[in-house]
Amino acid sequence: MIDRLPFPRGSRHGPAVRTVLRVSVPRPRPSDEHLMRVRRIRWSDDLLVVSAAGEIDLATAGRLERALRGSLPATTIIDLTEVTFLGVAGLRVIESSAARARTERRATGVVACTHPVLRLLHLFGVDAHIPLYRHLAAAVREVPKAVPARNP
């Protein structure tokens, strides 16, 4: 930002004008822990709820991905009801987790109710191949029924 301030002493051509540069120092970005929180809640032996709150973007998607790694039960529900922003990096994590679940014959569901999250999920057609719910209670009731039958 540039401000022009009148110089206190004038000359015969009028007051002199001095240019003052104000340098704005960028604020440091909050840590990932402040931008997004992830919790793993073991609902039952066959059901895990991974709940995220905050912003899921390129900087924080890795935390969600780590929560969805490892040995998972027959059903996993990804709860995004407290997510305020979902970027494409977060979308990639959700889709790769659901693809892994399909190959392992497990069920996955997504719970979302905020407009920015729902808009991205609908825009990329995620709701066409991953069950999408508005309330966690509905997902807990319905997703275990969606477990594909195992081949003998």
Predicted local distance difference test score (pLDDT) of residue 10: 55
Q: Which fold has domain 32-146?
A: Transcription Regulator spoIIAA (3.30.750)
Predicted local distance difference test score (pLDDT) of residue 71: 86
Predicted local distance difference test score (pLDDT) of residue 36: 82
Mean pLDDT by 10 residues, the chain (152 residues): 53 56 62 74 89 91 91 92 93 94 92 92 90 92 65 43
In the chain, where the domains are located: 32-146
Predicted local distance difference test score (pLDDT) of residue 14: 56
Residues 35 and 56: beta-carbon distance below 8 Å: no
Query: Which of 71, 18, 12 shows the shortest CA–CA distance to 40?
Result: 71
